[in-house]
Chains A and B, each alone.
Chain A
Amino acid sequence: MENKEQLEKQQRERRDFLSCLGSAIACGAATMAANAASPAAAAATAGGAVPAIPNFDWNKHQWAFGVDAEKCIGCLRCVEACKRENNVSPDAHHFRTWVERYVTLEGEEKARIDSQADPVNIEASGGEGQYRFANRYKDAKVEKAFFVPKLCNHCTNPACVQVCPTGATYKTEDGVVVIDHTYCIGCQYCVQACPYGARFFNEEKGVTDKCTWCYHRITKGLQPACVEVCPVGARIFGDRNDKQSVISQFIQNHRVQVLRPETGNAPNVFYVGIDKDVS
């Protein structure tokens, strides 16, 4: 983890970047009147303006994320790292990423599901700012159990971007759905539209919030915080434009799935090792 000064500098840079981008979008949106009301058209909102990030050209990248659920051990370091890196409120109701546990007991048809935000797990961890899965099935006969990390899917046709009335949330050219916190009016229509529950309202700032794949990090050649801290390599991130990148290899070498493909959102988080109960 960086020290406080570096963190502040990063945040400042991020703010400058978003502010610059926000102005560009504001101007761009006026010329968008001819856009058809489709998610695909909405996704193209960011077209044109290139943000001034040193040594970074968003036209040269196409980011994607992989989750290997076979590897996840539910340690929740990713959740903690994300909360710290992105200053997410430490309570049990605001998460940019979370981990779900699926447990099928002998004789049961459906999996029992919980996340670190479940009251039982919070009690076991000692508080809302601590993240741990309680050993609640230790006396049960478990037939099958696995963990599934969740985060924003940075969809190709994001429903959240489609419904945003101001264009404050938009998709960057390199495939990341971000929010301009200086332009968001806080109506929460995007929170409603996301079928994955990936968005939440930041009550302190009065705007919506979500995972950005740590855009402030990836544009500097770093990995998202959750990927960085994962001890088992269950989270994979990279550039699909680079055919040799870990994410390109991950997608090429596995039969990957996306969540809720029927929505037409076309997610860009690719899963391996999930089961029928996962959505």
Chain B
Amino acid sequence: MDALFHASPFTGYVYPNETVIPWTVLIVVYPYLTGLVAGAFTISSLYQVFGFTQLRPVAHFALLVSLCCMLTVPIPLLLHLGHAERAFNAMITPHTTSAFAVFGYAAGFYILLLILETWFVFRPHIVQQSQQQTGIMRWFYSILSLGSDDLSEKAMSYDRKWLFTLAIIGIPGAHGLHGYVGFVFGSLKSREWWSSDLMPVIFLLSAIISGTAFVIVLYVLSCKLRKVSIDEACMKVMAYALWGFMMFTLLIEGVEFLSLVYRGREGIDVILEFVTGPLIIPFFILQFGVGSVLPLAIITFLIWSGTSGKALVVGITGSAILVLLAVLMMRYNVVIGGQEISKTSKGLLAYHPPIFGREGLLAAGIVLLIPLILLSVLVRLFTPWHDAPQAA
């Protein structure tokens, strides 16, 4: 039997109603996914808008990664709601003062934009397939082409204009969406751990690094699976992007934490007790040490030493995996950590997520797998690869 609620033990004094943590691992997964969306879109935009041609091998792939993650974003939220069937109430009668009311519109707009951009990117492929394939697949691609099978230079130039415009709109769209997720937390004055003007910036920067890291890992994995060689120049540009954004992320996170401690408002003693106690492993060791400083040091070494070949790929991929872990830990430490510090400023809760159940680790893990499943289907339908011609 799944218990109706999961109460957490506490030390000190906490309000009686606080013992049931309201937002669980599903709400950890939600900002993690929106972060991957924004980060993957950044990689795609660096190619589409800013002309980083070295990113050509992953640009279209990153767009698909972003789309797959974005399609998954509403799932953890809907799973978490007490009445998922009423979710559209927030869109039918949005409460204009609520930071959360805009989510449906913002997410809907961004999903549409991503679909539209994906369609323009893959239109030549869709048209070709609608002419080459037979049977049901021919029908599938024909419908997807929306009757637009003109691949002339004039038509393609028109497409490029659209792509450029969509990518430009997408930059504030993707980043705004994720910055807004940071605002959902940062604007709450009830929790000292969340209440910070820097929260949207921290969310955004960590989003970019997680999305970049995700694209790196998936690109390397796809090359291994497809048995094609990995484009080193592309890997290097992604590593530079990762390195640069990580520096900013660490700096801003450091400034945020420093000002929290330096301000020393009511409850800071409990926060310090929390940080130097239960947070030692998840925050200092996993998020900061293993997940941030170590990959930063590895990438710095790789760039400084001019490493190339397999060592470069292994180093960057290993760092990217660590960054993915660090950002997941960051989301966990923010979402769950914020709720473990009591609103009384006089006590701490210890949340241990259940494995099973709607709000359990297993459910959260399955949600995180959904984008990968979607992606494995989409890369087969819309080949996003731009590999060197020596493909095996």
The answer to whether B89 touches A185, judged by C-beta atoms less than 8 angstroms apart, is yes
| CB-CB contacts below 8 Å: A169-227 with B | 183-189, 191-201, 203-208
Task: List 17 additional A-B contacts (Cβ < 8 Å) besides A185-B83, A203-B4.
Answer: A29-B93, A45-B95, A93-B5, A93-B7, A115-B13, A150-B15, A166-B89, A166-B90, A185-B86, A185-B89, A187-B80, A187-B81, A189-B98, A193-B190, A195-B343, A279-B266, A279-B345
Q: How far is the CA of A167 from the CA of B86 in the complex (A)?
A: 12
What's the minimum C-beta distance from A53 to chain B, rounded to whole angstroms? 23
Among B22, B84, B99, B343, max chain A CB count under 10 A is at B22
| A92 CA to B5 CA, complexed, in Å | 12
- Write the chain B residue with the least CB distance to A198: B17
Q: Within 8 Å of chain B (Cβ to Cβ): is A33? A: yes
Cα distance A135–B97 when bound, in Å? 46
Number of residues of chain B lying within 8 A (CB) of chain A: 45
Complex-state Cα separation, A38 to B184, whole angstroms: 15
Between A93, A94, A264, the greatest number of chain B beta carbons within 10 A of the residue's beta carbon is seen for: A93
Pick out which of these stretches binds chain B: A57-65, A157-165, A235-243: A157-165
- Give which listed residue, A100, A194, A200, A263, contacts B20 with CB less than 8 A: A200
Q: Is the CB of B188 within 8 A of A93?
A: no
Interface of A is mostly: loop
Residues of A bordering B, CB below 8 Å:
25-26, 29-30, 32-33, 35-39, 41-42, 45, 92-95, 98, 100, 113-117, 150, 159, 161-168, 183-189, 191-201, 203-208, 263-264, 279
Bound: A29/B98 CA distance, A? 12
Docked pose: A104 CA to B70 CA in angstroms: 53
What is the bound-complex CA distance between A193 and B346, given in angstroms? 18
Are the CB atoms of B15 and A163 closer together than 8 Å?
no
Contact present for A184 and B16 (CB under 8 Å): no
Q: Is the CB–CB distance between B5 and A201 below 8 Å?
A: yes
**From residue A259, how far is it (CB to closest CB) to chain B in Å?**
11
Inter-subunit contact A35/B22 (CB<8 Å):
no
- A41 CB contact (under 8 Å) in B83, B86, B94, B97: B97
Bound-complex Cα distance A45 to B96 (A): 10
Choice from B19, B23, B101, B188 contacting A166 with Cβ under 8 Å? B101
Q: From residue A74, how far is it (CB to closest CB) to chain B in Å?
A: 15
Q: How far is the CB of B112 from chain A (nearest CB, A)?
A: 20
Given contacts A193-B190, A205-B82, contact A165 B17 (CB under 8 A): no
Residues of the A chain whose Cβ atoms lie less than 8 Å from the Cβ of B226: none
Of all chain B residues, the one with the shortest Cβ separation from A210 is B17
A191 to B188, alpha carbons, bound, how many Å? 11
A203 to B87 Cα, complex, angstroms: 17
Q: List 6 A-B contacts (CB under 8 A).
A: A32-B95, A37-B97, A186-B83, A187-B77, A192-B191, A194-B190
Counting CB contacts under 8 A, is B139 at the interface?
no
- The minimal Cβ–Cβ distance linking A178 to chain B, given in whole angstroms, is 15
Chain B, Cβ-Cβ closest to A95 = B16
| B100 and A165 contacting across the interface, CB-CB below 8 Å | yes
B222 interface contact, C-beta 8 A: no
Residues of chain A with a CB closer than 8 A to B16's CB: 92-95, 98, 115-117, 197
* B96 and A186 contacting across the interface, CB-CB below 8 Å: no
Chain B residues positioned under 8 Å from A117 (CB to CB):
16, 19
CB distance from B196 to the nearest CB of A (A): 15
Q: Which residues of B contact A41 (CB under 8 A)?
A: 97
Q: Tell me the chain B residues, 1-46 only, with Cβ under 8 Å from chain A.
A: 4-5, 7, 13-20, 22-23
Pairwise interchain contact B22-A165, C-beta atoms closer than 8 A: no
CA distance A98 to B18 in the complex (A): 12
Taking CB as reference atom, which chain B residue is nearest A203? B4
Give the residues in chain B near A94, CB-CB below 8 Å: 16-17, 20
Asked if residues A165 and B23 are in contact (CB atoms below 8 Å), the reply is no
B214-254: CB near A (< 8 Å → 1, else 0) gives 00000000000000000000000000000000000000000
